[in-house]
């Protein structure tokens, strides 16, 4: 069976299965409308429904931040818990729809599924980088491309199921499908033979001491850039259909969203692969941020949304989706370049807390801007300022030669042994 134990069967395929499952969190908008209709038809208030997605992203980031050491110690157990939590969260959301219970929707979709998202997102990343040690960017790009492509793959399936079975039954069916996918990924996932790390026993004080890494200015810079890129991305992507409607393209909005979904996945794979061939992987973030700033400035100056200049609006959303995806795939590899592979799952998990914070601010701030001004064009003022701030942070805190931080210990080389980690 050893001939079947290689980087594709033990890392790439299981990573795609796990990430393609949890990546369907971005299909929430397909469920929210029919769920809201069900609640309204039964005289229930559905004002809190939008928080289900925000909580899911928040618990994704926070579970990754606090459970990174657990993932580091046992990726196999972590991927199993992720599979169970995600499937239970989806199925439980179906039950909540049946009972017309908003608290249960927030619990199952937001909290339980969110924890599954965090563990499932982290589990395959380090394994991929170990198997693809000469092409770490390609490896992480493969994984998170699955996360980005999930919406493109499952959107038509979800719509068909909701139309034929209703939201409740669709959630039950999909919970089963995604459980099988992720469980197969869990069974296949395995670190390379010979890689064993030393793991200290749990220590409460040491657990929280990991967060001292925020005193490292380089890490803080990476965290802030990652947060800004996601916040700006969510501010625009969450209103993508509305923007297409505002420029008179509502009739092909679904096709355009599928197209930008493709670019979201392409950015994850493309930018990370390019990063493998650069001396400083941080250059990718500079390319991403500068391109986003330039296209945002052009759209703002031309009044693209207000004046219905479709080509500029579409170009902007393509560039934002490319950069949004590329920011995710380059994060773990940039962190491994700075801090080494020894504790990368833990450090990557802490960095993903930026995603949690962005999930609570990005689309909410954009909603507030639109609500107060009635103009989607004004979102661009907000994102342009943040992109400019991110570029300044990049050159001040992250740019330059990487030196491994004193805040973490490194076990960069595998220990040759027959014992499984």
212-401: same fold as 1-191?
yes
Supply the pLDDT for residue 146.
Answer: 80
HEC letters along 290-314: HHHHHHHHHHHHHCCCCCCCHHHHH
Contact, 230 vs 362, CB < 8 A? yes
Query: Residue 126: its pLDDT value, please?
Result: 79
Q: Which CATH superfamily is domain 1-191 in?
A: MFS general substrate transporter like domains (1.20.1250.20)
Query: Would you report the helix, strand and coil content of the chain in percent, each value rounded to 5?
Result: 80, 0, 20
Residue whose C-alpha is closest to residue 113's, from 92, 98, 95, 144: 92
Any idea which residue has 């000469």 for tokens? 134
Helix intervals (H) in 166-216: 167-188, 204-209
For helices 310-339 and 253-275, angle between their N-to-C axes, nearest 10 degrees: 30
On whether the 212-401 domain is CATH 1.20.1250.20, my answer is: yes
Please tell me the predicted confidence (pLDDT) of residue 362: 84
Find, among 296, 304, 301, 263, the residue nearest to 387 by Cα: 296
What are φ and ψ of residue 216, in 5° steps? -80, 115
Give the residue carrying structure tokens 């980005």.
148
Tens of pLDDT, residue by residue, the chain (421 residues): 566 688 888 888 999 999 999 999 988 878 988 999 999 988 888 888 888 988 999 999 999 888 888 887 888 899 999 999 999 999 999 999 999 999 999 999 999 999 999 999 888 887 888 888 888 788 778 777 787 788 888 888 998 899 999 999 999 999 999 999 999 999 999 888 766 665 556 555 665 677 889 999 999 999 999 999 999 999 998 888 889 989 999 888 878 888 888 898 889 889 988 988 888 889 999 999 999 999 999 999 999 999 999 999 999 999 999 999 999 989 989 998 898 887 888 899 999 999 999 988 888 888 889 889 988 999 999 999 999 999 999 999 987 665 454 444 444 444 433 333 3
Place of tokens 């197969």: 184
Q: Domain ranges in the chain?
A: 1-191, 212-401
The answer to whether 313 and 250 are in contact (CB under 8 A) is no
């Amino acid at each position: 069976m050893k001939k079947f134990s290689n980087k594709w069967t033990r890392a790439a395929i299981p990573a795609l299965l796990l990430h393609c499952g949890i990546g369907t969190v971005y299909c929430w908008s397909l469920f929210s409308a029919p769920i809201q209709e069900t609640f309204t038809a039964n005289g229930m208030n559905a004002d809190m429904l939008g928080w289900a997605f925000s909580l899911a992203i928040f618990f994704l980031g926070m579970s990754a931040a606090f459970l990174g050491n657990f993932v580091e110690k046992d990726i196999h157990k972590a991927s199993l818990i992720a599979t169970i939590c995600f499937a239970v969260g989806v199925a439980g959301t179906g039950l909540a729809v049946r009972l017309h219970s908003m608290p249960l929707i927030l619990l199952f979709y937001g909290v339980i599924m969110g924890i599954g998202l965090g563990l499932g997102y982290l589990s395959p990343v380090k394994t991929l980088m170990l198997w693809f040690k000469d092409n770490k960017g390609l490896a992480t790009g493969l994984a998170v491309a699955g996360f980005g492509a999930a919406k493109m793959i499952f959107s038509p399936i979800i719509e068909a199921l909701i139309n034929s079975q209703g939201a409740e039954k669709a959630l039950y069916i999909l919970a089963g499908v995604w459980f099988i996918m992720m469980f197969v990924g869990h069974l296949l996932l395995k670190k390379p033979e010979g890689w064993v790390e030393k793991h200290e026993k749990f220590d409460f004080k040491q657990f929280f001491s990991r967060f001292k890494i925020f005193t490292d200015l380089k890490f803080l810079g990476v965290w802030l850039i990652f947060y800004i890129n996601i916040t700006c991305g969510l501010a625009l992507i969450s209103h993508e259909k509305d923007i297409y409607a505002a420029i008179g393209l509502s009739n092909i909005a679904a096709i355009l969203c599928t197209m930008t979904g493709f670019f979201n996945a392409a950015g994850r794979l493309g930018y990370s692969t390019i990063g493998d061939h650069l001396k400083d992987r941080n250059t990718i973030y500079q390319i991403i941020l500068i391109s986003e700033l330039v296209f945002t400035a052009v759209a703002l100056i031309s009044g693209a949304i207000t004046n219905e200049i479709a080509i500029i609006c579409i170009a902007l959303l393509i560039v934002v989706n490319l950069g949004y995806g590329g920011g995710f795939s380059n994060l773990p590899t940039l962190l491994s370049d700075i801090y080494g592979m020894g504790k990368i799952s833990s450090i990557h998990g802490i960095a993903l807390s930026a995603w949690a914070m962005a999930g609570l601010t990005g689309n909410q701030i954009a909603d507030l801007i639109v609500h107060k001004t009635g103009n989607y064009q004004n979102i661009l003022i907000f994102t342009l300022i943040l992109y400019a701030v991110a570029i300044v942070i990049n050159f001040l805190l992250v740019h330059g030669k990487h030196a491994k931080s004193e805040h973490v210990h490194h076990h960069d080389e595998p220990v040759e042994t027959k014992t499984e980690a």
